[in-house]
Amino acid sequence: MSQAAPRWQSAPSSLSVAPAPSPPPGSPRYFALLYTRPALRPVLGALLALADEISAGGARGLDHSVAHVRLDWWRAEAERYARGEPQHPWLRALLAQHRTARGLDLQPLVQAAALDLAIQTQSAEPGVALPGAKLQRAVFELAADALRADRDADPLPPQLQRMLGDLGEQVFELERFAAGDALNSAGPKAPAAALDALRRQVRAIDGTLQPQLTPLLVWIALAAAQARRRARRPDHNHASVLDGFADNMLAWTAARRAVRGRIRIE
């Protein structure tokens, strides 16, 4: 892939149709997709993969001018997608299999990625969002819309939409901590504030809305559990068979509670 722009921009004649890759097995995103209704799974899977791809310029540490060129391409691609004429193979596959997915608005992902790129120039001080957090906020908000739309439900109340965005940012912080990417002088106590906020905000989600938000609630529960595990074992975070079994059980329990409108974060 060219550093300046995705290769399919310069070779439209060789465009292919290919589904978006799946999240890494055992990750919170993997379990979120696992507990998504089959009809919507391709949409959510594409949304997750596209968020990673759109943010790749900043994540790979490219020169800012190059990263902005990539974002400009994705901004134009979001417009092409809205017209039903995308170039990216994942989006072409999504439209080919799910024509109703055309209603998915990709512009918030590009805007969030641009904001994350700007945040990279700031120091990692308390109160400054981690690069990538704004993009995950957009992912949570778009996913919530898609999950509701799939059931012909009314739009989420604006306050709940903002809360889900907040949860997305907090989950991102926990995922970074669990992966060892955001460890700092706070050590094992680093995720405490995010965990407290998760517990408080998840409790505030109306039980009647929880069944439709099950994939996101499973994602939140897994991210919290894996961050707590990292806090208990700061010097040893290698996955084990027992960890995988525990995560499977936790995801199943979280999904069951969400369907009943009784989700909680331990």
Share of the chain above pLDDT 90, in %: 49
Mean pLDDT confidence for 92-116: 88
User: Which among 62, 65, 18 is positioned nearest to 8, based on CA atoms?
Assistant: 18
Least confident of 18-27, 47-56, 148-157: 148-157
Distance in angstroms (rounded) separating the CA atoms of residues 75 and 104? 14
Mean pLDDT confidence for 21-26: 91
Burial class (CB in 10 A: 0-12, 13-18, 19+), 26: middle
Decide: pTM greater than 0.75. Answer: yes
- Terminal-to-terminal C-alpha distance of the chain: 43
Confidence label for 61 from pLDDT (cuts 50, 70 and 90): low
pLDDT at position 2 is 42
pLDDT at position 187 is 46
Distance in angstroms (rounded) separating the CA atoms of residues 219 and 103? 24
Residue 152 one-letter amino acid: D
**Residues in the chain, overall count:** 266
Distance in angstroms (rounded) separating the CA atoms of residues 117 and 58? 6
Residue 185 has pLDDT above 70, yes or no: no
User: 247 versus 190: which is more confidently predicted?
Assistant: 247
Confidence label for 10 from pLDDT (cuts 50, 70 and 90): very low
- 127-170 pLDDT, tens per residue? 455 678 999 999 999 999 888 766 666 778 889 999 999 999 99
Q: By the 8 A CB rule, do 137 and 165 touch?
A: yes
